[in-house]
Every structure is written in structure tokens, then in C-alpha cells.
Amino acid sequence: MKKSIERAKVLIESLPYMQEFRHKTVVIKYGGHAMVDENLKRQFALDVILLKQIGINPVIVHGGGPQINQLLDRLQIKPSYVQGMRVTDGETMDVVEMVLVGKVNKEIVGNINHCGGRAVGLSGRDGDLVCAEKLKISAKAGDAMEAPPELIDLGRVGQVTHINASILRTLEREDFIPVIAPVGVGADGQAFNINADLVAGAIAGELKAAKLILLTDVAGVMDQEGALIHSLRLDELAGQIERGIIKGGMIPKVNCCATALKQGVTKTHIIDGRVEHAILLEMFTHEGVGTEIVQ
């Protein structure tokens, strides 16, 4: 009886959050260990189905870097990176699209549907959902101060220019859960490989989502002593980066959150996808998990 009462208390604690987010959109970037571990994959599917069942509209954007590398390795194609981004020539782009759209996306959709949900898989090319252009990056050329920056060609690596969200709103009206592979379409109709965090942030901004949740393989943003920072304001981010508190691979994630907030997303979260039911803990408990970044 005692355990049953505790379970009832948990449900009561979650009630105001269920009421707050009912009919709201939550965009979830799904990646890292949560996409590999079989137990976590099933829990993720059940968590997303629960959100939908209580009237919240989850939209999933997934990654797939390790799976891409596995196929490249089997095809004896050596991956190349510049400033942490995959150089994507035509052959690599074929592999990226094959893995993300043809394999990873369908597996996620299958898991959700198998657990009782109604998911639909999409590429950013479907309905021109994710419009993109070539990403241009530069590196300093030589040591001379007057030397112009050297442009680096990453191939078909893109950045989002526009989100056509009508297809997502149609799926929402029909009670489907969209699962989106981060492949964009350029003006020439060709595919672009785009960072999944950036796609998730752009979609969240276009939909004016109540939350953007990035699942990672770390607890969240850590301070200089290695302790979790539970909450950050938008105006604190630049200073934290300058002081080296936010560094490495966390910088593009917090920048993604910052962009989403500026585009109208209410709250953003960086949470540990290795924690069981991390999404539910973030959304329906007083303490939450990970780091929230807010206006």
C-alpha cells in the first residue's frame, strides 16, 4: 500500500506540468547513447507515446553519426572532419542519406509504432520541410595579419535557411508523431547534411515550441568544479564561453538553445539521455534534470 501511495504522489506532482504543456509542442533532439542501448530505445519510445497520449505534441529530430561511420567503414570510405563537421562529398552524402533516412529513421518510427504509438518518418527533403544552403566556414590563412581568411569547402554540408512546417502541423492535427532525419534540401533540389541540433533548434523556433530538449551523453552544462549547472540565462552564455566554463562540443549545443530562444521557444534543456526516462523527469518533476537555458 505504501508503494502505491508513493506512485499516486508522483502522479499528483506531475499534474500541473501535464496541464501546463497540454496542446503545446515539445521538440526533442534524439541522439547519443539513448539511440544505441536497447533498453533506453524502448524507454524513449514509451516516453514519447506518453507525451502524445496526454495531449502534448512531441516532434523528434534524430542524429546518427556513429551509424554513418559504421557504414563508411564497411565501404572503406575514410571519414574526414573540419572544425568538428563531417566533410560530405557526393559519395559520403549518399551514405549519410541512406543511413539517416533509410535505416535510423525507420528504426525509430518502428520502435514507437511497435510500442503502441503512431509515428511517421520524414526527411527534411519531404515537402521541402528543411530548406538549406551550403555552409561556408573559413580558417585563417597563414600568419600575416593582412591575409584574407581561407574558405574551406565541406562539400554538401548545409545550414538551415527556412522551415516549411505545414506538414508538421498536418501530422499534429492527425495525432501522428513526426520523426525527422536532419537532411535538408537546397535550391538545386540536392540534399544537404545538417547538424541535427541545428535542425531541431530551427524547427522548435518555427513552431514556437514550449520546450526544446537536447538529449546528450553528459549530465548537462558543468561548472569549473565539475558540478552540474541547473539553470542558465541567455545573457549569461557569452560570458560562460569566454571564461572557458562552456567549452568544446557543448558550445554549439548552447548556441543552438540560444538561437531557439531568440526565435520564440519558451525553454530549452540539455539533458543526459543515458538516464532512464530523462524526458519525463525533466518535464514532470519539480527538480528536473540537466541544464535549462531560458530568456
pLDDT on residue 146: 58
76: CATH: 3.40.1160.10
Give residue-wise pLDDT tens across range 209-243. Answer: 999 999 999 999 998 888 999 999 999 999 999 89
Residue 124 located in a structural domain: yes
Contact indicator for 158, 133 with CB cutoff of 8 Å: yes
Give domain status of residue 95, yes or no.
yes
**pLDDT by residue (tens digit) across 183-218?**
999 999 999 999 999 999 999 999 999 999 999 999
Closest by Cα among 277, 278, 285, 283 to 219:
278
Question: What domain range includes position 33?
Answer: 24-283
The overall average pLDDT reported for the chain is: 91
Count of domains observed in the chain: 1
Q: Classify residue 291: in a domain, yes or no.
A: no
Asked if residue 119 belongs to a domain, the reply is: yes
pLDDT at res. 251? 87
Residues whose CB falls within 8 Å of the CB of residue 248, separated by 6 or more in sequence, listed in order: none
Q: Is residue 295 part of a domain?
A: no
Closest to 51 measured CA to CA, from 6, 17, 5, 7 = 17
**Series of mean pLDDT values for 10-residue runs along the chain (295 residues):** 83 90 96 89 96 97 92 91 83 95 96 97 96 84 58 88 96 97 95 94 97 94 91 92 88 91 95 93 88 93
pLDDT at 80: 84
Q: Is 158 domain-assigned?
A: yes
234 in a structural domain: yes
Judge whether 124 and 53 are in contact, CB under 8 Å.
no
Does residue 28 lie within any of the structural domains? yes
**pLDDT 10s digits, 133-154:** 999 887 655 555 555 667 778 8
Instruction: Find where cell 533540389 sits.
Output: 189
